[in-house]
Chains A and B, each alone.
Chain A
Amino acid sequence: MTASSPFITGARAALPIVGGYLPVAVTFGIVAAEGGLAPVETVAASAIVFSGAAQFLLVGMRADALPATTILGLLIAINARHLFYGPPIARRLPASRPGLAPVIAHGLTDEVFALSLTGLDRQPEARRWGWFAGVAAAAWAAWVAGTALGAAAGGALAGRGAAISATLEFALPALFVILLMPHFKGTVRLGMAAAFSLGAIAKLAGAPNAGIPAAAIAGTLVWYGAESWTRRSSS
């Protein structure tokens, strides 16, 4: 493979994704170790699922002892958004190598989608499959390697006292705050406030298991109602 092969060019183009993934993946490894996942389970989650938000939520919901069917149902609904990343990418790839598609599709995360949407158009058609494979493989490798590092670090830090343990557990809420901050505006803010408030009430009432899905669905309905009302008012 030469230095100018499309695969290598794609892997180089993915460097910003790699830089962004590594610290988050390390954090996931630490949080998962703190949440009781064995290192092999933690790395398997990153290698097989390869979806950061879903993986963090999986650890969080498992820590809250939600039933497995509830966890799976919610996470599948959340990851259904990936269904809409494929079409614009598929349209940019020549049809000559369709057999590769399902394999490469595993790397189609939010960030890989965003980079490929513009990056593929700048590649000659014959190089697009290789370029996309390079982007996806680099992103996946960074995510899995970072997770392994984090799982090892988390295992080493575990059992060092209650304050350290509680502090490590705080990595998860901190990440959730970071994920929510850019979206905390407009009608989405109303939905988030409703979901947070109902989640808090459910926790205070001692029913977080039922509370999380109910609060999330209620928050989505609040957003939907507010958004519909806003669009009607402005039209």
Chain B
Amino acid sequence: MDAPILLLILALGLATFAFRAVPFLTGGRVDRLPPRLVEALDKLGLMVIAAILAVSLIPGPGEPIGAATLAPPLAGVAATIAVHAWLEKVGLTILAGMAAYYLATLAVG
């Protein structure tokens, strides 16, 4: 077992629990913070996801840029967008994206 990851999980769990529990203990007085700050924290989450998505999909400096590295993620993302727009089912959409990624890997590999 990896002690640092467990510590990370514990610390994140504690912080998240505190955020959830404090309003119950303070009688709901924490919702007087500026609404724009609340909104910005919400948007920060989306921006982290967008940044990680880019890092997950784009090849690194040592990897070749060509059909073998670009076609699978492109096919996977296209299938994910199409199936989610059609069905709006998370599980099925992820499976469809993974299937498209796998087929494209076989096609260009």
Contacts and interface: CB of A to CB of B under 8 A. Distances in A.
Interface of A: 20, 22-24, 26-27, 37-38, 40-41, 44-45, 48-51, 53-54, 57-58, 60-62, 64, 68, 71-72, 74-91, 98, 101-102, 104-106, 108, 163-164, 166-181, 183, 188, 191-193, 195-200, 202-206, 208, 211-213, 215-220, 223-224
A28 B4 CA distance: 20
A86 B52 contact: no
Interface of B: 1-2, 4-13, 15-17, 19-25, 27-31, 33, 36, 38, 40-62, 72-73, 76-77, 80-81, 84-85, 89-94, 97-98, 101-102, 105-106, 109
Q: Is the interface of A mostly helix, strand, loop or mixed?
A: helix
Contacts of B16: 49-51, 54, 76, 79, 82
B80 A198 contact: no
Contacts of A84: 23, 30-31, 33, 38
Contacts of A213: 48, 51
Given A49-B9, A166-B101, A177-B97, A102 B2 contact: no
B43 A170 contact: no
Contacts, number: 293
B84 A220 contact: no
Contacts of B57: 173, 200
13 contacts: A49-B13, A50-B13, A72-B15, A77-B44, A101-B24, A168-B98, A170-B101, A173-B97, A175-B94, A199-B50, A199-B54, A204-B59, A219-B46
A206 B60 contact: yes
Nearest to B7: A68
Given A41-B6, A163-B105, A178-B80, A90 B50 contact: no
Nearest to A51: B16
Given A83-B19, A216-B47, 12 more contacts: A48-B9, A48-B12, A72-B12, A74-B48, A81-B42, A88-B31, A90-B28, A91-B28, A192-B50, A203-B55, A206-B60, A212-B51
